[in-house]
């Protein structure tokens, strides 16, 4: 073989390694590739190299250039991944959220942030050196390389050891837990809501940041040994080996600390109350399902008599309007339910024309008030019961009106919201929206790539319709809430291992509106979805079963937007709640609760793997609360593992295992 052919082969070999290093999509893969690159680089400088007879300057220059070129490649790859991971993101965010404020955790977080930024700035310096090597004095590079491998505690190896000691404390029994566990213990609900991250995601982010720092440190130390060797400072084969062994040890312990913390960390993600409730922006209301309604007994029966009392009318409708009475001003076009007698005479304040309410408030002569009595901009009306033939008392009753469907908003779409599985898209966000008179589930989707990466996409357009369009059928296209059918199931559903969330829908089970998720298996390594094995998952338990679904009761519920304190999640998996009128005294039963939270739920950056979803209730005693969506972020713990740097190049094996479906 001629020298020329050799040179060409050598160039080809370089080209291959170039391609390898640039494609890393996560820290595990990057770690492997940097490890290989380090090994290859050692190969390059170990080629016949005449040390004895005093090395000539041009040779040093050439070797130095080669090494720095390789280092530049490595740092480019690190840089690229770093911009995805958002270096230091988790730590700084935690500090910003005042996690662990005033306790030892805050100190630890500050120290961690300091250490990470010192390694980062060293890395930055090295990056500049590799760019400007021609202008630099050899002494500058040599100094830097010496710092990178120095025993001094403030030098790079010392920094790496200190980062490590925070994740894996040296004296477990004395200094306690890993900082990862401290963070989990200290997280507060509102902090999580603000960040829009699950605790699991937060820990995974932190693990990625630390791993990336480890990889940077390792690359800097190894390339420093190489530079020092080129400069004739020594052989350093043993030292480089020790650096590698220590790095392997650290990364493996960090991985197992992260893995066990991740296994414990909750993956729940949901919205808390917004700073300010805004109709149409943060919430919507079901209207006129059951609404407080004043009607005189004389209009509640076909005979136009007043021989009964209010409580006699449990289910009726309006049969007429006695001339000159209050009924000329208002009507219930649907069913009239559960009437009761409160008091004979009252003042009524009517609500505005565009309000879903009928009345702002009612003030009875006996002093009892319904709603928040006060001034009345539209002018209050006196409504008095009367005697018929001085014999029969024709009382005004307080009933509930289930208004006709044209004047109310109480339908839910039963159409599926699916990500485009065929184009390898998965769900990245979820929200409830009202379009026209219909509530829908809406998802956002993103493209699933290899090793859990997602390219964020956009909200998938709704399958819009109006219930009055021809061909649109109740029970098939939509569900109409009625007095008898007004329950919604509160379930929190997660996918089996190795599956990912690709859709959601409402379906009817008996009289309940019921939530379900679509779950699709995927290959973590390649990111490919197996659309043919996609399945719907639901908790089909009913309230009539052996271990019945339990009811979340709303006790004398006021309108939730009036709560001074934020409303926490108060539902559990396997419950249901019924839409109902608001409290008589608090709100004159004018609203339908719970309200519907329409805040979009998308994990930070709109690009996290999601494995499950649910419908929850946020509320407290005395408030109707909100129905809201919830998500489960993907469980990364089984993909976190130590990957020792190779002492010779080896193929990576797939971490994917096919486990049997676990029933939630």
Ligand X SMILES: *[C@@H]1O[C@H](CO)[C@@H](O)[C@H](O)[C@H]1NC(C)=O
Task: Report, in this order, helix, strand and coil percent for the chain, each rounded to 5.
Answer: 35, 25, 40
Output the smallest distance, CB 64 to ligand X, in A: 16
Residue 263 is encoded by which pair of tokens? 């296994």
CA gap 60, 626 in Å, rounded: 70
The CB-of-52 to ligand X minimum distance in angstroms stands at: 6
Task: Output the smallest distance, CB 658 to ligand X, in A.
Answer: 5
Smallest distance, ligand X to C-beta of residue 253, A: 17
- Judged by beta carbon, residue 53 or residue 475, the one nearer ligand X is 53
- Please say which residue, 190 or 652, places its beta carbon nearer to ligand X: 652
Q: How many whole angstroms separate alpha carbon 503 and alpha carbon 536?
A: 9
Q: Are 175 and 182 in contact (CB under 8 A)?
A: no
Q: Please report the sign of the dihedral spanned by the C-alpha atoms of residue 487, residue 492, residue 498, residue 502.
A: positive
Q: Which is nearer to ligand X, 188 or 241 (CB)?
A: 241
Minimum distance of ligand X from residue 525's CB (angstroms): 5
d(CA 151, CA 245): 16
Nearer to ligand X, 117 or 525 (CB): 525
Q: How far apart are CA 156 and CA 394, in angstroms?
A: 91
Which residue number is nearest to ligand X in terms of Cβ? 53
Q: Which CB, 2 or 658, lies closer to ligand X?
A: 658
Task: Report the DSSP pairing between strands 478-480 and 411-413.
Answer: antiparallel
CB of 657 to ligand X, least distance (A): 7
**How far apart are CB 446 and ligand X at their closest, in Å?**
20
CA-CA distance, 206 to 212, in Å (whole number)? Answer: 10
* Nearest Cα to Cα of residue 531 among 502, 496, 493, 494: 502
- For ligand X, which is the closer residue by CB, 235 or 307? 235
- Residues at the site binding ligand X, with contacts judged by CB under 6 A: 49-53, 235, 237-238, 241, 245, 523, 525-526, 647, 654, 656, 658
Closer residue to ligand X in complex, CB, 51/279 = 51
H helical segments located in 150-292: 156-167, 172-175, 179-186, 189-195, 199-230, 237-264
> How big is the chain, counted in residues?
664
Q: Tell me whether residue 238 or residue 463 sits nearer to ligand X (CB atom).
A: 238
Of 627, 625, 629, 580, nearest to 600 (Cα)? 629
CB of 495 to ligand X, least distance (A): 15
User: Cα angle at 103 between 101 and 107, to 5 degrees?
Assistant: 85
Distance (Å, whole) CA 213 – CA 163: 9
């Amino acid at each position: 073989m001629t020298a020329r052919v050799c040179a060409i082969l050598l160039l080809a070999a370089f080209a291959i390694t170039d391609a390898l290093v640039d494609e890393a999509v996560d820290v595990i893969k990057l770690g492997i590739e940097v490890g290989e690159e380090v090994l290859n680089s050692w190969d390059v400088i170990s080629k016949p190299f005449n040390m004895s007879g005093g090395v000539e300057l041009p040779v040093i220059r050439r070797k130095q250039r080669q090494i720095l070129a390789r280092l530049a490649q490595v740092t480019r790859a690190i840089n690229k991944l770093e911009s995805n991971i958002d270096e230091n993101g988790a730590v700084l965010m935690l500090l910003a959220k005042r996690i662990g404020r005033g306790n030892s955790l805050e100190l630890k977080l500050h120290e961690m942030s300091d250490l990470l930024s010192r390694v980062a700035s060293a890395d930055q310096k090295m990056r500049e050196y590799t760019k400007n090597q021609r202008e630099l004095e050899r002494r500058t590079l040599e100094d830097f390389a010496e710092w990178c491998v120095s025993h001094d505690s403030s030098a790079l190896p010392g920094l790496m050891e200190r980062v490590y000691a925070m994740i894996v404390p040296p004296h477990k029994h004395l200094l306690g837990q890993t900082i990862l566990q401290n963070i989990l213990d200290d997280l507060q609900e509102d902090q999580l809501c603000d960040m829009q991250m699950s605790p699991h995601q937060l820990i995974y982010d932190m693990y990625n940041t630390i791993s990336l720092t480890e990889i940077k440190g390792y690359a800097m130390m190894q390339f420093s040994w190489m530079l020092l060797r080129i400069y004739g400072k020594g052989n350093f084969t043993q030292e480089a080996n020790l650096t590698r062994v220590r790095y392997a040890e650290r990364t493996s312990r960090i991985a197992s600390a992260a893995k066990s913390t991740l296994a414990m960390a909750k993956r729940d993600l949901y919205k808390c109350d917004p700073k300010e409730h805004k109709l149409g922006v943060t919430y919507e209301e079901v209207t006129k399902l059951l609404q407080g309604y004043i009607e005189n007994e004389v209009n509640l029966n076909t005979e136009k008599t007043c021989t009964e009392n209010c409580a006699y009318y449990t289910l009726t409708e309006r049969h007429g309007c006695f001339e000159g009475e209050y009924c000329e001003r208002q009507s219930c076009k649907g069913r009239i339910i559960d009437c009761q007698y409160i008091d004979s005479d009252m003042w009524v304040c009517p609500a505005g024309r565009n309000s879903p309410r009928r009345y702002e408030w009612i003030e009875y002569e006996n002093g009892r008030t319904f709603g928040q009595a006060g001034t009345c901009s539209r002018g209050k009306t006196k409504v008095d019961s009367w005697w018929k033939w001085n014999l029969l008392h024709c009382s005004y009753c307080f009933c509930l009106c289930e208004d006709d469907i044209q004047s109310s908003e109480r339908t839910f779409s039963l159409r599926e919201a699916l990500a485009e599985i065929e184009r390898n898209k998965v769900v990245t966000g979820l929200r409830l929206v009202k379009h026209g008179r219909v509530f829908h589930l809406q998802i956002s989707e993103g493209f699933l790539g290899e090793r859990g990466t997602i390219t964020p996409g956009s909200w998938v357009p709704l399958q819009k319709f109006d219930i009055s369009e021809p061909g649109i059928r109740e029970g098939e296209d939509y569900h109409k809430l009625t007095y008898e059918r007004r329950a919604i199931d509160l379930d929190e559903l997660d996918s089996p291992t190795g599956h990912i969330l690709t859709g959601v829908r409402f379906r009817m089970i008996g009289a309940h509106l019921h939530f379900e998720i679509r779950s699709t298996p995927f290959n973590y390594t390649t990111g490919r979805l197996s659309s043919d094995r996609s399945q719907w998952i639901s908790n089909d338990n009913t309230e009539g079963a052996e271990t019945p679904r339990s009811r979340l009761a709303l006790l004398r519920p006021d309108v939730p937007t009036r709560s001074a304190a934020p409303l926490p999640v108060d539902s559990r998996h396997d419950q249901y709640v019924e839409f109902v009128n608001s409290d008589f005294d608090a709100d004159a039963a004018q609203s339908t609760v719970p309200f519907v939270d329409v805040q979009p739920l998308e994990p930070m950056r709109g690009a996290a793997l999601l494995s499950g979803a649910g419908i929850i209730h946020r509320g407290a005693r005395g408030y109707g609360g909100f129905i809201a969506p919830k998500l489960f972020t993907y469980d990364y713990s089984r993909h976190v593992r130590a990957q020792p740097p190779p002492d010779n190049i080896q193929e990576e094996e797939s971490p994917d295992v096919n486990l049997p479906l676990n029933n939630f």
